[in-house]
Amino acid sequence: MVSLTPLQHRVDPGADLDRVEATLREAATTEDDFLTEVASHLIPAGGKRLRPAFVIAAALSLDPMGDKAESLTDEMVRGGVAVELVHLGSLYHDDVMDEAETRRGIEAVNHRWGNLTAILAGDFLLAKASELAASLGTEVAELLAATIGHLCEGQVRELQLIYDTNRSEEQYLQAISGKTAALYATSCRIGGIVSGADRPVIDQLTEFGHAYGMAFQVVDDILDLIATDEELGKPSGNDLREGVYTLPVIRMIASGDPITELLGQQLNEKTRDQARAAVVEGTEIASSVVTAQTFVDKALAALDGLPATPGVEGMRDAATNLLSTLERYID
């Protein structure tokens, strides 16, 4: 399997992520045993930890010895954990809005403990993220606060267009820029900041992260339509069922396909499967892959002029390999 981590040029990426994991668990621990249990619920369930990995890779982008274990600093780890806590907190809130039953192959927090507990635990994780960001300085704290705002704005844009068959590509791209790409951009920017890189380099890293995040979300939305429940760790086709029309569906609607007759309302399992089949059999999946590739190309272009360090090469490989997750489904 092709690796998506940008740490693949490090001597021991597993050890790097073990440090992230230990700090993540520590951050989610409080004197209240119940809150600790709820806040830590998704941590052992896995996740690729891509966002903290990008913080580390970006921080090492100018270090020719960035493959060595000793080049990983506590500041890089704390920055990585801060963005991962934001991601986890957003998942808690997303699952409440989606009335999700599972996440990462286990029972979702809201389904197990209820919406109120899930919302408060998500808020707690965001607060811990802010606390870690503050330990890295005013600039990182302000950046993370602004990013949380962007995530909320992106999610609100999406909520405003639930079941709306007139949702445009532009509206879709604006929403994913806020709800996904913003956090990847921030991950890379934090890496640049904690490493003491010059502003032009920090801006390049930020541009890479945003373009990568756009590609990542387009790919994720494609997978929601073509992968299985087991592969996703959550119900497939859920966006269709809940009225969140992503790029392939938007393009199929625009083409005048009869699928539109099924949409504009909540789907049951049967009608969801009918709609999924129509999208998969059309040409819109392939055209959406092309769009994802365009964002990958933008990400790679953002790294032009940076030295071929282990960090930069890892970021470059991670972007190049992103579309490989679709290869088993698409000829």
The pLDDT of residue 190 is above 80: yes
Question: Residue 135: beta bridge partners?
Answer: none
Q: Which CATH superfamily is domain 13-326 in?
A: Farnesyl Diphosphate Synthase (1.10.600.10)
Span 106-145, pLDDT tens digits? 999 999 999 999 999 999 999 999 999 999 999 999 999 9
Residue 231 is predicted with a pLDDT of 78
Span 51-91, pLDDT tens digits? 999 999 999 999 999 999 999 999 999 999 999 999 999 99
How do beta strands 102-103 and 106-107 pair? antiparallel
Span 242-275, pLDDT tens digits? 899 999 999 999 999 888 889 999 898 899 989 9
- Which ranges constitute the DSSP H helices of 235-283? 238-242, 247-254, 269-281
Can you say how many angstroms the Cα of residue 83 is from the centroid of all Cα atoms in its chain?
A: 10
Contacts of 294 (CB under 8 A, 6+ apart): none
Please report which confidence band the pLDDT of residue 241 belongs to, taking 50, 70 and 90 as the band edges: confident
Angle of helix 50-59 relative to helix 199-226, nearest 10 degrees, comes to 160
Window from 96-100, 147-151, 190-194 with minimum mean pLDDT? 96-100
Window from 5-14, 67-76, 142-151, 224-233 with minimum mean pLDDT? 224-233
Residue 109 is predicted with a pLDDT of 95
Q: Which two tokens stand for residue 308?
A: 């071929």
Residue 100 is predicted with a pLDDT of 85
Span 270-294, pLDDT tens digits? 999 899 999 988 899 999 999 999 9
Contacts of 97 (CB under 8 A, 6+ apart): 155, 159
Span 196-218, pLDDT tens digits? 999 999 999 999 999 999 999 99
Cα–Cα distance for residue pair 65/44, rounded to 1 Å: 31
Q: Where are the domains of the chain?
A: 13-326
Residue 288 is predicted with a pLDDT of 96
Residue type, 3: S
Looking at beta carbons, which pairs linking 66-75 to residues 24 or more positions away fall under 8 Å? Answer: 66/9, 66/10, 66/309, 66/310, 66/311, 67/9, 67/10, 67/11, 67/310, 68/11, 69/10, 69/11, 69/12, 69/15, 69/16, 72/16, 72/19, 73/194, 75/136, 75/194
Residue 228 is predicted with a pLDDT of 80
Residue 330 is predicted with a pLDDT of 66
Find out whether 186 and 51 touch, Cβ atoms under 8 Å: no
Residue type, 193: I
Please report which confidence band the pLDDT of residue 1 belongs to, taking 50, 70 and 90 as the band edges: low
Q: What is the pTM of this model?
A: 0.94
Window from 2-6, 37-41, 73-77, 120-124 with minimum mean pLDDT? 2-6
| Half-sphere CA count of 11, side-chain side, radius 13 A | 8
